[in-house]
Amino acid sequence: MSPDGSAADGPLPTLGALGSLSRARRFRRDSLAVVQEMHDRHGPIVLERVGTRRLVHLFGPDANELVMRDRGGIFSAQRAWTLIMGRIFPGGLLLMDGSAHRHQRRILQAAFTRSALQGYLAAMTPRITETIDELPADGTTVHAFTAYKRMTLELACAVFLGMELDARAGAVSRAFEHMVAASMSIVRLPIPGLEFQRGLAGRRFLVGLFDGMIADKRRDDDDDLFSQLCRAQDEEGQRLTDGEVVDHIAFLMMAAHDTTTSTLASLTYELGRHPEWQERIREELLALGPELTHDNMLELTQLNLALQETLRRYPPLSTVPRIATRPFEFMGREIPPAMVVTYPIHTHHMPALWSEPMRFDPGRFAAPREEHKRHTHGYVPFSGGAHICIGMRFAEMQIRAVMFQLLRRYRIKLADGYVMPVQQAPISKPLDGLPIMLERV
């Protein structure tokens, strides 16, 4: 590798198939270590043979920019994500390209306008308040991830579907859990008892549930996202079909439920480890007043810094896959058509971009440091370009709403010496449920 980090002349580094299975297994538990090792050993461009398929790993902010902006129309998100989750989440916005993606995104955008977000916040607030008030503050261990997972699922059902979970809570939660896990399955065969088959069964359950609701949703004038998608139309008056609505709501429910739970857990862990930041945020929340609104939440400077740093350390999507439909150039090298993967989790921990990248340091996002501005694609927790996450404002709003209620009531405590065991892919989560203790303020 040359001193500037570009690939040296000669053949591109190529990994054989021998270690692919081992890397895939390690990747789910510790994605960052796997990709850092690959980059440090082989450089910013690495080819890999996985069966009959050719895989190209690209590292760094320039790689993110090349793939996410895709000025040349080379990289297909649809073809890549279809290989990964096409049988589990077909028809999701992430699994679309070009004009179809633009058309569907325009329609979906109506469900994430400012007024829609304000309505979601008003609907969520009493439910969040009730859940937070019921948490024990007597020294009892609370598994934060488990509690958040239940709460975000209830919120997603209420705000997105306009329904109460009641007796279906466990079945809905398991369905989403199995579907997300199946997206990383190595063996993708519908064999009873295997992870992938559980994901397919989860999808059948949810599609049946949503199909049974859609006729009523077409008729009502409710404000939940499901109803809004049924009514949404583009500038020419075109609406989504029943099948499109079901596919979108399944994918958005998964994204809103799992990624928000992931970030809430990671933020809770870091605030437990760093009580000085927890106190700063608490003072800010108490000073804001008794009510969080869509307008005043942007005044929460300290919370927003901590949230940004959490998304840097634990990005909801650690990898961004695409299919290169024709040869392209990167760092002066021609890359053949292949599956191409870039790694936000790696870029978010590059010493060239971030001072002491393994340290939780929200101040790095504040002036005058503003380390996230060193490169336009050095900080990409929600991807970028045409496929930037359509629900990112909703996710951030929900996280702020939960922290507003939690930190005004409690101090988060961790056991001495506790280190959270993390599974980093497909979505970051603590493997032990994140045990914490709460102390009333």
pLDDT, residue 18, reads: 57
Q: Which of 225, 221, 219, 222 is nearest to 246 (CA)?
A: 225
Burial class of residue 388, CB neighbours in 10 A (0-12, 13-18, 19+): exposed
Does 4 fall in a domain?
A: no
Does 1 fall in a domain?
A: no
Does 154 fall in a domain?
A: yes
Spell 240-264 as b/e; 16+ CB within 10 A means b: beeeebbbbbbbbbbbbbbbbbbbb
pLDDT, residue 427, reads: 85
Does 143 fall in a domain?
A: yes
Does 2 fall in a domain?
A: no
pLDDT, residue 168, reads: 73
Report pLDDT digits (tens) over 263-308: 999 999 999 999 999 999 999 999 999 999 999 998 999 999 999 9
Q: Which domain holds residue 138?
A: 14-440
Q: List per-block mean pLDDT (blocks of 10 residues) for the chain, which spans 441 residues.
A: 49 74 81 94 91 90 98 96 90 92 89 89 94 92 94 86 74 84 80 91 92 89 85 80 91 84 97 98 96 93 98 92 97 94 97 98 98 98 94 94 98 97 89 97 94
Identify whether the C-beta of residue 94 lies closer than 8 Å to the C-beta of residue 81. yes
Residue type, 380: V
Cα four-point dihedral sign 76, 81, 87, 88: negative
The average confidence (pLDDT) of the chain is 90
Question: How many CB atoms neighbour CB 16 within 10 A?
Answer: 8
Q: What is the three-state SS of the chain?
A: CCCCCCCCCCCCCEECHHHHHHHHHHHHHHHHHHHHHHHHHHCCEEEEEECCEEEEEECCHHHHHHHHHCCCCCEEHHHHHHHHHCCCCCCCHHHCCHHHHHHHHHHHHHHHCHHHHHHHHHHHHHHHHHHHHCCCCCCCCEEHHHHHHHHHHHHHHHHHHCCCCHHHHHHHHHHHHHHHHHCCCCCCCCCCCCHHHHHHHHHHHHHHHHHHHHHHHHHCCCCCHHHHHHHCECCCCCECCHHHHHHHHHHHHHHHHHHHHHHHHHHHHHHHHCHHHHHHHHHHHHHHCCCCCCCHHHHCHHHHHHHHHHHHHCCCCCCEEEEECCCEEECCEEECCCEEEECHHHHCCCCCCCCCCCCCCHHHHCCCCCHHHCCCCCCCECECHHHCCCCHHHHHHHHHHHHHHHHHHEEEECCCCCCCCEECCCCCEECCCCEEEEEEC
Looking up residue 37, the CATH number of its domain turns out to be: 1.10.630.10
CA distance 399 to 225: 18
Tokens of 99: 């004009």
Identify whether the C-beta of residue 430 lies closer than 8 Å to the C-beta of residue 188. no
Q: Is the full-model pTM beyond 0.85?
A: yes
Report pLDDT digits (tens) over 106-155: 888 888 889 989 999 999 999 999 999 999 998 899 999 999 998 998 88
pLDDT, residue 64, reads: 98
Identify whether the C-beta of residue 281 lies closer than 8 Å to the C-beta of residue 271. yes
Query: What angle in degrees, to the nearest 10, is found between the helix axes of 169-182 and 195-219?
Result: 120
For the chain, how many structural domains are there in total?
1
Does 7 fall in a domain?
A: no
Does 8 fall in a domain?
A: no
Does 77 fall in a domain?
A: yes
CA distance 214 to 231: 11
pLDDT, residue 285, reads: 97
Rounded percentage of the chain residues whose pLDDT exceeds 70? 96
Report pLDDT digits (tens) over 391-415: 999 999 999 999 999 999 999 999 9
Identify whether the C-beta of residue 8 lies closer than 8 Å to the C-beta of residue 2. yes
Alpha-carbon distance values, 332 to 5, 8, 15, 67, 328 (Å)? 12, 10, 21, 15, 10
CA distance 92 to 85: 10
CA distance 400 to 294: 10
Identify whether the C-beta of residue 75 lies closer than 8 Å to the C-beta of residue 387. no
Identify whether the C-beta of residue 403 lies closer than 8 Å to the C-beta of residue 239. no
CA distance 110 to 56: 36
Identify whether the C-beta of residue 178 lies closer than 8 Å to the C-beta of residue 258. no
